[in-house]
A and B are shown apart, each in its own frame.
Chain A
Amino acid sequence: MIGVLQFPGSNCDYDVLRALKDVVKTDARMVFFKNQDLSDLDGLVVPGGFSYGDHLRAGAIAAKMEVMDKVKSLAAQGKPVLGICNGFQILCESGLLPGALGRNTGVKFVCKWVELEVENTTSAFTSLYTKGEKIRMPIAHGEGRYLCDEKTLKELKKDGQIAFTYVGENPNGSLENIAGVCNREGNVLGLMPHPERASEKLLGGEDGRRVFEAMVNYIKSRK
């Protein structure tokens, strides 16, 4: 069972649930952030949106909610946790992933399809891609500029934690074109692009589906 975590202001929750249940055909359920028992979950997705209206900093308030302690506990057990867009911002703000997401250098909210290069194929979410493969997914964000200090960047490179990079134009000014990073163990991934919006032909592309398929495979391999 995979959970889709809803905060006030999450708005990609149903898209993710559809990608999991109807496209990848796995068991999934919504998880509202209040008073939740997460013990039945094998994995969790923190979807995109504008939790708490993006006030203070994108993802900052959601990241401090009590449910995030339970999410940290899931991650510590080795269960896969995926953060998409606002979910990525929440995972960074909570400390589950290194770095931070700042305002796009162009200031504008950027909403378009982008080309990505797969840098890591060993994480729980990227095992069905080949290294160096070019894929397409849409982005839609105003605060997606990945930032971290030099020491962290060195560690990310050394440990292969950079999962995806933007190819060609850097849409938001991210450091080293970084579009997604994972933790050292590879069971927590955050990315600004939306794999759920690229999970069916009807949506304009299917390159994102393998993120969810790999997550399901990873869960099966743990059992």
Chain B
Amino acid sequence: MDVEIVVKLKKGLLNPEAKTIEKSLGLLGYKNVSDFDTKRVFLMKLDAKSAEDAVKQADEMCRRLLVNPVIQDYEITVK
């Protein structure tokens, strides 16, 4: 099963990378850009019994390694 995990900084936390890119776009003349954001996507093939099982396994991976719950949120999609 194809699993996609999107990880992003928790709402309200400053994302310095996104701010820097937004500023750079401004320097290139794109003055109409706001709320620029970046996310990280993890993709994997997962051997699982069902979509539910895949989500369960991916969720465990997030909690154990892929995500730092102090500063990040995540979303799992099974395709």
Contacts and interface: CB of A to CB of B under 8 A. Distances in A.
A58 to B, nearest CB: 10
Contact of B16 (A100, A105, A148, A149): A105
B14 A105 contact: yes
A56 B71 CA distance: 13
B33 interface: no
B49 interface: no
A56 B14 CA distance: 19
B38 to A, nearest CB: 11
A102 B16 CA distance: 9
Interface on chain A toward B: helix, strand, loop, or mixed SS? loop
Interface string A141-165: 0000001110000000000000000
Interface in A91-109: 92-93, 99-100, 102-107
B11 to A, nearest CB: 12
Interface string A34-65: 00000000000000000000001100110010
Contacts of B13: 102, 147
Given A104-B16, A107-B17, A173-B16, 9 more contacts: A57-B68, A60-B65, A60-B68, A64-B65, A93-B68, A100-B68, A100-B71, A147-B13, A148-B70
| Interface pairs A-B: 4 shortest CB-CB | A100-B70, A107-B16, A100-B71, A107-B20
Interface of A: 56-57, 60-61, 64, 92-93, 99-100, 102-107, 147-149, 173
Interface of B: 9, 13-14, 16-17, 20, 64-66, 68, 70-71
